[in-house]
Structure 1
Amino acid sequence: MSKRTTIVLAVLNAALLGFILLYEQGTLSTSDVARRSGQVLRRFVRERVDHVELIRDEDAPIVFDRERTEDDELGDSLGTWTLTAPVESAADDDAVDSLLSALEWLDARRTLEGVADEDRARMGLDEPRFVVRFRVMDEEVALRIGGEAPTGDGVYAAVDGEDRAYVVGTDFVESIDHDVDHFRDKDLFAGFYGTDARQITLGGGVPELRFERDGVWRVRAPVRGWADASKVDRLLRGLRDLRATRFLDERPDDLGPYGLDTPWRALTVTRAEGETATLLVGEPCGEHADERYARAATDEDGEGPVVCVRASDVQMLELDPESVRATSLLTLGDDAIERVEVGALTLRRGETTWELQVGEGEPSPADDAAIAAWLGALRDARVRRFEPVDGEPGHGLGSPTATVTFHRSDDDQTLVLHLGEVDADGAWVRRGDEEALTLYDAAVADALRPTPLRFRARQLVSLEPGDARSLGIEAGSAAGIEAGGLTERATRGEGGTWTLEAPSSMEADRVVVRDIARRLATLAAERFVAEAPAAEHGLRSPSRVVTARFEPAEEGGEPTDLRLAFGAETVEGTYARLDEGPVFIASAELVDAVERSLASLDALTVPIEDLTSIRLERGPEQTELTRDGTTWQLAGGGTPNPDRTRALLDRLSTLRASRVLTHGAQDASLASPPLRVVATRRDGSTVSLSFGPEITQDGEALVPARRDGVPVTYGFRPELLESILDFAP
């Protein structure tokens, strides 16, 4: 084969391939049809259908056309369906989607082959109840729906050009048996958004109410002031969501019959670009008393048809001019605020948290919760009275005593609150350049004059609890530390064991010490009270002082010394002060923790593994148990009750006191105790425990107890000692 022949064949192949591709662009492929086998409309490939006609009896055809843009062709969008006859309108997406789905998945309950002309006439297919025509690519297909099958299992259907008929379900008829209104887009203002609205006018059968926006919404008539943004948003949202319940007159010559020539309400919204949307609402809609006549108009679409809308959907148009002004002191949400300035105080939103700066000082972390609570309090404050501004503002607002400036996150204009006179009537405030003065409760004055302390971060200490090296607790009398009280001091050894050094030398309670160390290392104020203590705080003669030293484990780390003083109690907790810092409220849990003694509460525990005997002395009466291998026997012979013996041994080995009663000399009640327990070890040494008569302390019943050689008297709850105090062999 010559080179020239090869070139000619290649050109012919390319031309043939181009023809095939061009042809298939305008026709259905065999694979498209194959995928539809088993369906009545085998050529209904949904994504390729671009034209549908629905004909019901004598009604004018309802025509849908799909519009595709270049972007739709390139992307995943299938385009937009519109109604083109008998009216031109946007189509209801849900209604059209339902129709297309019914056509796409139409299946036959029975298939009748070889249908003759007389059969078609008998089936009602010559004069069908419905005809659905659709265009797929360049191909036209028509579906006819005839009468009911005598078997009662459906209705007859046929596709033009086929010699067969089908029986299909009556549910298909229900899905297509709709008038044109069903397929129309019910949204009266589809595509009109009020996010950039700049003016709203509401009139009709009421005095004109006018809103304008320049950073904030303002009422301009018939009253003046800041507008309630929620009510403005409700107007805009109501307009955007308004839907027709029925369509009445496409191009009315006379609006009078509908009450739209002198409407009940007339709403006009003007956007920043000058585009307008107008809604007229008239009389109740004929026999439908819960609906009203309405007509919508936009610059883009012109005047729409007269429709009916639900009366409940236009209730937002019933506005009392006296209720449309904003009553909240602060009209911004937390997220809309970037920075707040109050005199020399600045609050600034950081990447994750708020920062506090005073004057030219360095920024420090602020308490997010405190800022949120403050903003919430400003937002919750409500106007008690409005007074119009006429010339120079009165009530001290010509020279305000405090000014709070809120800088917005969206770079819109700032929001400024000015505080004027504060008297028995309340606090006078002017919100920015509002054309009205507002009166609030007097408590608002304190909120508009916050101190840095209000926003200070409540976290006072951030250390590692494991770095604690020493703890001291100085407990005073009712007159305070200076009157003389008990001092406890514990230190941590190299092995991590805590030892009590004062007032006695003994093991410290590891549970109590670790709990106090953890609370001090993560100390946080419940609330700050004052920069410096006052007499009512009780900190000049504190009831308790806790000292601690934390030394980082890493080499070169600087130690941290803490001094925490506790003062008078308050309903919220206890006044406290860390070093020379501000006065704050300490939590009840912290106070309870530091009121416990550092002495070990396990000092009376008796390990039983090395014991050879246990003697219980009740005055002249004695009961002695001796170990015989792994069992216990009575010293005088016999076997003690095993359950009571086991309970006695278990309790002795797990004794943990409820509290420390006293340090130092033994209490007189324990000189001749009602019960004394003497345990002897294998090496001959003994452990002696004395249990005194029951007492009451702070409303709690306790049994005092002491161990020989330990200078501490402990208190136990009586029920904890039952297996010891009531032991009988």
Structure 2
Amino acid sequence: MRWRNLALLAVLVGGLAFLARIRMREEAAGVGRVPDVRPLLPGLAPDRVSTIRIDSLARAVQVRLERDAVGSWFLTDPVAYPAEDGVARAILRTVATATVTSADGVGLDDASLAPPRAVLELVEQAPEGERTWRVAIGGVDLDPDRVFVQVSEGAEEAGEVQLATRAIANLLERSPEDYRSRRTTTMLGQDVVALRRAGTAFVADRGGEIDLFLDAEETGAGWRTRGERVVSLDPNGMGLLATGAASLRVDRFRDDHPEDLSVYGLDPPAFTIHLVSRNGTEETLAFGVPPIVGPREAAPDTWYCRRVGLPHVFEVDGEDVALLIRPVEDFYDAFLVRAKRESIARVVLANGEGGLVLERAEDGRGRGAWKVGVPSAKGADPEVFFPAESGPVEDVLSALERTELEFPDGVTFADSDPPRSLTVTTREGMRFGGRIGVSHTDRELGIEGSLFLRFGDNVPALLDRSVVELFDLAPESFRSRRIHRVRPEDVRSVHLVAEDRVLVYRHPNDRDWFVGTTRFVAPKGFRNSLFTLLALRAEHWLDPGEAPSLRDRIEVSLETQPGLPAVAFTLGRDEEGNLICLEGDLAARVDPEQLAKHREAWGEDLLDALRGLFE
């Protein structure tokens, strides 16, 4: 072997020996080993923790939280007060999921654990008895995301120094106020079923102090005031008011042991809001502003609040209070009909002994054609309904949908002559409407119409003239000229009866018509007559009891597709030769113009063609 090869081999062996020595030193120091990761508090069940105690030496803060029998957290030190549940849950969630690793070779002094910067103590009600966990928190590691901790359970000595996530220390860097619930009540807005507001407040857009009195309850059919003035209230506005009061939050805790409430304008308060929940709980909030000398000329910058029965005084956001002091008139329900037009099933315009009734008649597809009738007596249903044109009905629904009420001051309701009333009923059974009063013009509002007294209210409103004019519409203007509402594709068979003879024509598909059960194609006279027969139009609807005796009668029955109503009617001529259609209680003179167009197109009279099928 040449000397150069020997030298190269010697260098290689020496390098390997050097690397091996470095690796041995690293292993002795723990470098390269997989860390031993384990739970911070093994076996802790957060839902069994009954007490949380925090002692922050660095911040000079001591806090104690206790959980009651129903699971709510309360602050018991330094002050007795409901706790912010989210903070307690965050502490328990963090310690229950936290892990630690060993901090070999680090002493208590180096870890800032003699004494610790903070101590977290948990009392757990375990099945085997009460367990107390103690976590001492020290300084921050060279890795800023970790802190030194020392854990002990019960009376045992503290264990080794360990490293844990810094989130534990961050959770405890709070002031005592941060542990207190910011809610001013224990209620939820959707649970409030009654509200009473009393007192006065300065409202900027009203330019001074206004009376805030409002006594209202949720009746199941909506919000309505109680007392001498009864008026329906806007459900959205009342929902915001109830939620705004029940969910009002504390901006700042001002005084837990006030000696003089008048300093905060709370003796007496400027106004109060009393809330009643669905389960019978009652709570009252009192509001005040710092006293001033002389009359107030602007909205206050600061509002104070306290829950009656508790000593604590809070500072609350002025914008939140602004919602609570809106004038009572702002909560009046301005909608004439609080329903979408597709949900309206019936409209009654009662006008003395007469009037107009519009009613939706389902067609089997949920679309609902409309029919029109005249009340037979005051408040009674019509004896007969006629098919209604959709256009005029939609005009009525549009007028009802877009109309908003105004509430003028100082007016007294008086009924119109003859008495008039509006009643709107939805498919769900909800009822809207009221009585129409005398004509009234409000020059300040610029509205001309009639007074209106909603069902259940005693505070009159002003109804726009566009709605009042609906009472002048004649029922005849709503009657449809179309006698039938049948599409050819919806018909499965046609039965014709004349002098006890019966003809049946089947429609097995969208194209063919056959005679009876055969495969013979229906005659031309039937096929030419079919489309006119299914689309008969009325020249004039006859009043009930005016149906004449008919000659050349043919009874027609239409078997329709499943889910659709069957149709049956009779055709015949009166003494003057007019073609009359009888369908149920209805009688109509068929439009001569339609019959003339049929005769021009097919060269024969409609009734003659149908009767010719029997020859």
Do both proteins adopt the same fold according to a TM-score greater than 0.5, normalized to the shorter chain?
yes
Q: Which whole-Å deviations, capped at 9, do the CAs of 1:227-282 have from their partners, x for residues lacking one? A: 4454333221210121123323212224466555576x523225497945123153
Q: What residue identity is the alignment partner of 1:191? A: M
User: Normalising by the residue count of structure 1, what TM-score does the alignment of the two structures yield?
Assistant: 0.51
Which residue does the alignment assign to 1:163? 159
Which residue does the alignment assign to 1:315? 322
Where does the alignment leave 5 or more consecutive residues of structure 2 unmatched? 1-36, 203-208, 292-298, 442-447, 497-511, 544-553, 573-579, 604-615
1:96 is aligned to 2:74: no
Q: CA deviation at 1:86?
A: 1.6
Which residue does the alignment assign to 1:66? 67
Number of residue pairs matched?
471
Q: What residue identity is the alignment partner of 1:89? A: Y
Aligned CA distance change for structure 1 residues 551 and 134 (closer, same or farther; 3 Å): closer
Q: What residue identity is the alignment partner of 1:239? A: A
Please say if residues 404 and 448 of structure 1, whose CA atoms lie closer than 8 Å, have aligned partners that are also in contact. no
Where does the alignment leave 5 or more consecutive residues of structure 1 unmatched? 1-36, 70-78, 471-489, 503-507, 534-546, 565-576, 599-660, 665-729
Which residue does the alignment assign to 2:449? 426
- Secondary structure of 1:163's match? coil
Q: What residue identity is the alignment partner of 2:492? A: G
Q: Which whole-Å deviations, capped at 9, do the CAs of 1:274-329 have from their partners, x for residues lacking one? A: 94512315369xxxx9984431314xxx2352323333322213424554444333
Q: CA deviation at 1:162?
A: 4.1
Q: What residue identity is the alignment partner of 2:257? A: R
Matches within 5 A, 1:361-510: 377-378=399-400, 380-384=402-406, 386-389=408-411, 393-394=413-414, 396-397=415-416, 401-404=419-422, 417-422=434-439, 425-432=448-455, 434-447=457-470, 460-461=485-486, 464-468=490-494, 492-493=514-515, 494-495=518-519, 497=521, 499-501=523-525
- Give the Cα separation in 1 of the matches to 2:454 and 2:345: 18
Q: What residue identity is the alignment partner of 1:111? A: S
| One of 139, 149, 154 as aligned partner of 2:131 | 139
Q: CA deviation at 1:42?
A: 1.1
- Secondary structure of 2:108's match? helix
Which residue does the alignment assign to 2:141? 149
Please say if residues 400 and 419 of structure 1, whose CA atoms lie closer than 8 Å, have aligned partners that are also in contact. no
1:128 is aligned to 2:116: yes
Matches within 5 A, 1:330-345: 330=337
- Give the Cα separation in 2 of the matches to 1:372 and 1:310: 47
Q: What residue identity is the alignment partner of 1:401? A: P
Q: CA deviation at 1:122?
A: 2.3
Which residue does the alignment assign to 1:200? 197
Deviates more, 1:170-179 or 1:137-146: 170-179
- Secondary structure of 1:144's match? strand
Q: Which whole-Å deviations, capped at 9, do the CAs of 1:422-474 have from their partners, x for residues lacking one? A: 5884223223464543332222225568888979999844894231479xxxx
Q: Which whole-Å deviations, capped at 9, do the CAs of 1:196-243 have from their partners, x for residues lacking one? A: 31533252342322223375523879x985544543332212101211
User: Normalising by the residue count of structure 2, what TM-score does the alignment of the two structures yield?
Assistant: 0.59
Q: Which whole-Å deviations, capped at 9, do the CAs of 1:495-523 have from their partners, x for residues lacking one? A: 26355349xxxxx79xxx99x59x949x9
- Give the Cα separation in 2 of the matches to 1:408 and 1:552: 31
Q: Which whole-Å deviations, capped at 9, do the CAs of 1:471-499 have from their partners, x for residues lacking one? A: xxxxxxxxxxxxxxxxxxx9754426355
Please say if residues 189 and 296 of structure 1, whose CA atoms lie closer than 8 Å, have aligned partners that are also in contact. no
Task: State percent identity of aligned pairs.
Answer: 17
Which residue does the alignment assign to 1:52? 52
Which residue does the alignment assign to 1:232? 238
| One of 186, 211, 214 as aligned partner of 1:211 | 214
- Give the Cα separation in 2 of the matches to 1:558 and 1:324: 49
Please say if residues 404 and 416 of structure 1, whose CA atoms lie closer than 8 Å, have aligned partners that are also in contact. yes
Higher relative contact order (CA 8 A, sep 6+): 2
- Give the Cα separation in 2 of the matches to 1:180 and 1:363: 76
Q: CA deviation at 1:145?
A: 0.6
Aligned CA distance change for structure 1 residues 196 and 84 (closer, same or farther; 3 Å): same
Which residue does the alignment assign to 2:103? 112
Q: What residue identity is the alignment partner of 2:178? A: H
- Give the Cα separation in 2 of the matches to 1:112 and 1:61: 28
Q: What residue identity is the alignment partner of 2:116? A: P
Q: CA deviation at 1:136?
A: 1.7
- Give the Cα separation in 2 of the matches to 1:595 and 1:128: 106
- Secondary structure of 1:120's match? coil
Please say if residues 230 and 456 of structure 2, whose CA atoms lie closer than 8 Å, have aligned partners that are also in contact. no
Matches within 5 A, 1:477-626: 492-493=514-515, 494-495=518-519, 497=521, 499-501=523-525, 516=531, 520=534, 550=557, 552=559, 560-561=568-569
Please say if residues 435 and 455 of structure 2, whose CA atoms lie closer than 8 Å, have aligned partners that are also in contact. yes
Q: Which whole-Å deviations, capped at 9, do the CAs of 1:669-726 have from their partners, x for residues lacking one? A: xxxxxxxxxxxxxxxxxxxxxxxxxxxxxxxxxxxxxxxxxxxxxxxxxxxxxxxxxx
Q: What residue identity is the alignment partner of 2:76? A: T
Aligned CA distance change for structure 1 residues 93 and 408 (closer, same or farther; 3 Å): farther
Please say if residues 94 and 167 of structure 2, whose CA atoms lie closer than 8 Å, have aligned partners that are also in contact. no
- Secondary structure of 2:192's match? coil
Please say if residues 245 and 308 of structure 1, whose CA atoms lie closer than 8 Å, have aligned partners that are also in contact. yes
1:245 is aligned to 2:251: yes
- Secondary structure of 1:238's match? helix
Q: CA deviation at 1:103?
A: 0.8
- Give the Cα separation in 1 of the matches to 2:539 and 2:243: 45
Q: CA deviation at 1:189?
A: 1.3
- Give the Cα separation in 1 of the matches to 2:395 and 2:310: 49
Q: Which whole-Å deviations, capped at 9, do the CAs of 1:648-675 have from their partners, x for residues lacking one? A: xxxxxxxxxxxxx9989xxxxxxxxxxx
